[in-house]
Amino acid sequence: MFGPFAEIKQEILEIPEVGGNPRRVWSWHNLKDFLGWTGRAFRWVFEEKHILLFAFFQIVAIAAGYYLWVQMLGWIPKEVWESDEKLQNIKLNLAVFGWSFLCVGLVSGPVAVFTGCMGASHFLKRAGLPSGMMSCLRMVLPRAWPLWIFCWMDCWFTVLQILERLPKRGRDGAEDRFIKELLYYSWKLGTVGMLPSLLNGKNLFLAAKESVLLIRDKPYEVMLLRGGYSLFCWIVGVLAYAGTAAFFFTHHHLIETGNWVYWVYVWAGIPILIATAVIQIFLRPIFVLGSCEVYSDYIVTEQMNPKLRTPPPVIFSLMMSFGFLLMLAGTVYLYREPLGLTAILEVRGFKSAQKYQASDSSQTLREDEAVFGSTRDETAPEGQGSSVPQAPAALLAGAARSAPGCKTITRVVGERIEEVCE
């Protein structure tokens, strides 16, 4: 799935403007161009009001997908969340990983289609063709498969990076975090031209190549567009975190009882979705329309004209595939007990603290490291908090313990130390 894109990050990092001095990018001339994109995008949104409807549909899809994902956190008992040993269970983490990947895929379908409709509006209007909602859908639906696959990859990389940024114990060093951010940003830069290229009929591999050529030809425009979008997204994200902090400090009783990890993510969804709505309504259209405009200036005129086609039979296979994912999610949700998922999430049969042996712990740790990587910071001095919760369940629990307003207490159960939010 990721094969054709493996070289994008490296190719982008080798572009002199990306790895060199960024001051030339932030020149007054280029900044005026960015402000010009912003102004034109806002005028476009007010002229083509269905763009706001496309944004609304994306918000609904993201909200539904987020709370569908959160449901699994509620299926995991409180006792499991409070035990770091149980959180390293390999079956539990594979279940969390698989459910997360499925939810991201479900959200990516409608997000890909309606984001594509935003870009289609630009190409249609620039070509002097009707750019209403149905015209945009007629242009996008024949390309829905590659758009969905690309959006699924992009959303998954974004989710992984967001998880990396969550506050947690045993974080990577500053150098490692910088490298991860650089690789993530290189991916985002390198895929700026993917959406418009896919809308103009390219397959995934050719669109990836063309996107790299776009940033080689217009590095300043691409970096300004992506950099400006990222900057404002960061501002919205910081405000969302501040809102989350204020909410939990004033309503900390909401997470003091029951499955506290589940309730942290349930209530955190409110500021998260408010921030998502702001981005989707005010920032996302600017970025999508701006990327399509940069791409339109890059390609020759005869390649720019969109080709409206009646959705071919492939659209039915797309709908069947999306329906299959919905049925799969529904089956897991409704029949998790007969399928054995409940037993996996409750870590049934896991040894109690009194019977827990060091040899069994080492075996479990070796099994988890084979799948999720090392869960221990080898550079930390012995006995000084060397545990690094990199497995998905442990990472989510660590982020919940760091939630604003969550007072973490440490208690001893038998021979095991547990941390819980009170």
pLDDT digits (tens, 9 = 90+) for 306-346: 555 555 556 677 788 888 899 999 999 998 999 889 889 88
Taking the C-alpha atoms of residue 122 and residue 292, their distance in angstroms, rounded to an integer, is 7
Please check whether residue 240 is in contact with residue 274, taking contact to mean a CB–CB distance below 8 angstroms.
Answer: yes
Can you give the length of the chain in residues? 422
> With a cut of 70, which residues of the chain have pLDDT below it?
1-34, 37, 167-172, 256-257, 300-315, 349-390, 403-422
Q: Most distant CA pair in the chain: distance in Å?
A: 75
The H or E element that residue 413 is part of is strand 408-413
User: What pLDDT shows up at residue 170?
Assistant: 59
Burial label for 171, CB within 10 Å (0-12, 13-18, 19+), is middle
| Contacting residues for 351 by C-beta, under 8 A, at least 6 apart | 357, 360
Taking the C-alpha atoms of residue 374 and residue 74, their distance in angstroms, rounded to an integer, is 27
Residue by residue, DSSP assigns 275-305 as: HHHHIIIIIHHHHHHHHHHHHHHHS-HHHHS
pTM listed for this prediction: 0.80
> Percentage helix, strand, coil, to 5, in the chain?
75, 5, 25
Taking the C-alpha atoms of residue 360 and residue 293, their distance in angstroms, rounded to an integer, is 59
The partner residues of 387 in beta bridges, in order of sequence, read: 376
Q: Cα dihedral angle (88, 91, 94, 100), rounded to 10 degrees?
A: -90
User: What pLDDT shows up at residue 352?
Assistant: 40
Taking the C-alpha atoms of residue 225 and residue 88, their distance in angstroms, rounded to an integer, is 41
User: What pLDDT shows up at residue 163?
Assistant: 82
Please check whether residue 258 is in contact with residue 78, taking contact to mean a CB–CB distance below 8 angstroms.
Answer: yes
User: What pLDDT shows up at residue 220?
Assistant: 81
User: What pLDDT shows up at residue 357?
Assistant: 38
Running DSSP on this structure, what letter comes out for residue 167? -
Taking the C-alpha atoms of residue 346 and residue 237, their distance in angstroms, rounded to an integer, is 33
Please check whether residue 255 is in contact with residue 263, taking contact to mean a CB–CB distance below 8 angstroms.
Answer: yes
Structure tokens given for 292: 């399509």
Q: Any alpha helices (H) in 27-173, and if so which ranges?
A: 28-47, 50-75, 78-81, 84-87, 90-126, 133-140, 144-165
Residue of 265, 267, 274, 271 lying closest to 399 (CA atoms): 265
* Chain segment 148-192, per-residue pLDDT in tens: 999 999 999 999 988 887 766 656 677 888 888 888 988 999 999
Using DSSP, state whether 312 is helix, strand or coil: coil
Neighbours of 298 (CB within 10 A): 20
Taking the C-alpha atoms of residue 3 and residue 111, their distance in angstroms, rounded to an integer, is 23
Neighbours of 197 (CB within 10 A): 28
